[in-house]
Amino acid sequence: MSPLPHSASPSAAGVMQTTPSTFTPPLSGTPGAPLSAARTAAELHRFTCDGPERMRPVEPGPGRLLLVRHGETLWSRDGRHTGLTDLPLTDAGRRRATGLPTLLGAHRIVHVRSSPLQRAAETLHLAGRTPDTYDADLAEWDYGAEEGRTTAEARRDGRPGWTVFDGVPPGDTPGETVEMVAARASRVLGRVWGHLEHGDVLLVGHGHHLRVLAAVYLRQTPYLADSLEFEAGSLCVLGHHRDTPTIQQWNRMP
């Protein structure tokens, strides 16, 4: 599948799929209806969270952070950068997501927070959980002009060895640096520290963003995220050893 031209809509690239009628995408409100990155960017403000943010506690609570990456989409399957383009899951992505209740059943979840993009929201729906809130700061990295393109295509433009961590040029959307993504991840963490005092917190989102969030949680440079794999539809668990943040489980598949 060729990259989506910036002037075209996702449906023009053949990504329209049927989603269960019981699921309503938070952004479009229409099951199976994709949105372009620019349209998503214009709609995300409705899910901005202005609640209080806390500093990292000196003595962390007993709860763990449960990170779930959304299930497969056509673009994630093909290795295309899918930032703000709001695509539905594939049937394979839905099948894997139905295995998440088993993985999550062992956890005492006291707070659930999701990206408002439909691939994350439907994954949460299929996991049998209801969000306490949709958080725009959990949306995927804004890839700017690299939206819809593969890493190989970007490298053929005279950038050998390039990854998104090297920066993205603006396109239909402005694009983000890794530091900007880390700032959003820090805001999400600031909103959930209090919940971790009472139990586990479930965050459902996207591969690059959640990898950066994990790096921030671990008190490491956000560039550590470039060395972390996070498969579609998998679960990662972050916890503590005494007061040191740790990875307890990574890439657990249903």
Using CA atoms, how far apart are residues 199 and 52, in angstroms rounded to an integer? Answer: 19
- Cβ atoms of 235 and 67 within 8 Å: the answer is yes
Annotated catalytic residue 198: no
Nearest CA-CA partner of 132 in 232, 49, 34, 238: 49
CB environment 95-134: b (16+ within 10 A), e (fewer): ebbebbeebbeebebbbbbbbbbbbbbbbbbbbebebeeb
Annotated catalytic residue 140: yes
Eight-state DSSP code of residue 35 = B
Using CA atoms, how far apart are residues 202 and 18, in angstroms rounded to an integer? Answer: 26
Angle between helix 207-217 and helix 178-192 axes, rounded to 10 deg: 70
Annotated catalytic residue, options 70, 111, 195, 206 = 70
What tokens appear for 191 in the block? 């909103």
What tokens appear for 111 in the block? 């707070």
Annotated catalytic residue, options 81, 122, 125, 140 = 140
Eight-state DSSP code of residue 124 = H
Strand pairing report for 235-241 and 244-252: antiparallel
Query: 3-class DSSP state for residue 46?
Result: helix
Number of H-type helices and E-type strands within the chain:
8, 6
| Catalytically active residues, by annotation | 70, 140
